[in-house]
Amino acid sequence: MKIPSNKRLIPNISEIFIQYLHSHNIKDADAMQIAFEEALTNAIVHGNNNDYNKNVNISFSIKQNMLEISIKDEGKGFNYKSIKTNDDDIYRKNGRGILLISLYTDSFHFEDYGRKIVMNKYIS
């Protein structure tokens, strides 16, 4: 799905995502919803700089006991290799999205110069 960079859409998109997880009986749905919302917020706010004219592409699917979530913005990208996930960051007001993603997914990686994040979670 493709959405414009509008933070007001996050709750609606997140609801679609959580309903998808519930329909597949995913037991860690709440944790995955947090990771999803953090990645979506990062794409809108940091990737696209809240530019309503730029879109965010979102996909999620389950294949062979693996939930895969992909979120891609239209921004300039960033040096994702410089990201540090320090447990102390969890108490900060900002800058904790990647830490939360790392806590609630089994793996994640960036593609396309940091414009795309792919998150994976094993399910049973």
Report the CATH superfamily, name and number, of domain 2-122: Histidine kinase-like ATPase, C-terminal domain (3.30.565.10)
Helices (H), the chain: 10-23, 29-42, 97-104
Alpha-carbon distance of 22 to 26, in angstroms, equals: 6
Alpha-carbon distance of 91 to 119, in angstroms, equals: 23
> Residues 102, 90: contact at Cβ < 8 Å?
no
At residue 89, what are phi and psi to the nearest 5 degrees? -65, -20
- 99-118 pLDDT, tens digit per residue, is 999 999 999 999 999 999 99
- 57-91 pLDDT, tens digit per residue, is 999 999 999 999 999 999 998 887 777 666 555 55
Angle subtended at Cα 56 by Cα 50 and Cα 57, rounded to the nearest 5 degrees: 175
Tokens of 23: 């329909």
Alpha-carbon distance of 63 to 121, in angstroms, equals: 11
User: What do you get for the CA distance between the two ends of the chain, in Å?
Assistant: 26
Which pTM value belongs to this model? 0.89
Domain boundaries, the chain: 2-122
